[in-house]
Amino acid sequence: MIFSKNFLEIIEEKTNNLLDIAYAGTFKIKFVISEKEFLIKVIKENNNFDLDDIKKASQGQEILTKLSLSLSIILQGIKNYNIIYLDEVDGELDKNNREKFFNILDSQLDLLKSEQCFIISHNEIYEATNCDLILFKGATMDYINTNQKILYSFNKNK
């Protein structure tokens, strides 16, 4: 139990650092651990426990918290990780929360010193980013901006 609490204190701190990127310090989590329960409480602006469980938060807050937790565990558990693969990780987020997640991910990739991040997505948030693209069959070219380089397109003429 002591090892778990120590590990989770580090994860909680790292997760709250990532949530600060999205919520500017107005939304934090607190692990509540005992032999009988494990809860993730939510602390909002007034530093009181506003919600006794993350499951009572909005869908966007819950998803951003889950993603931040996942990235924190990756950061804590793997120090020299160069490639990250995310498949439809932002699918349930609305546009505003996608932008927040993209900021969290960008910060985490810097901390991980990740050389590559592959994101499979059908969302428009990546249209305005400076990232390289691999286009699959059926992908249209109308959303590509001048900052994006197409590494490979499966739609090439034979």
Q: What's CA 46's distance to the chain center, in Å? A: 25
Q: How confident is the model at residue 158 (pLDDT cuts 50, 70, 90)?
A: very low
2-122 classified as CATH 3.30.420.40: no
Tokens standing for residue 56: 């009572």
pLDDT at position 30 is 92
Residues with Cβ < 8 Å from 154, sequence gap 6 or more? Answer: 135, 136, 137, 139
Whether the pLDDT of residue 90 is over 80: the answer is no
Strands (E), the chain: 27-33, 38-44, 49-51, 83-87, 116-120, 133-135, 150-153
Domain ranges of the chain: 2-122
Q: How confident is the model at residue 15 (pLDDT cuts 50, 70, 90)?
A: very high
pTM of the shown model: 0.63
Task: Give the pLDDT confidence of 19-75 residue by residue, as tens digits.
Answer: 999 998 889 999 988 778 888 899 887 666 688 889 999 898 999 999 899 888 877
Tokens standing for residue 140: 């249209």
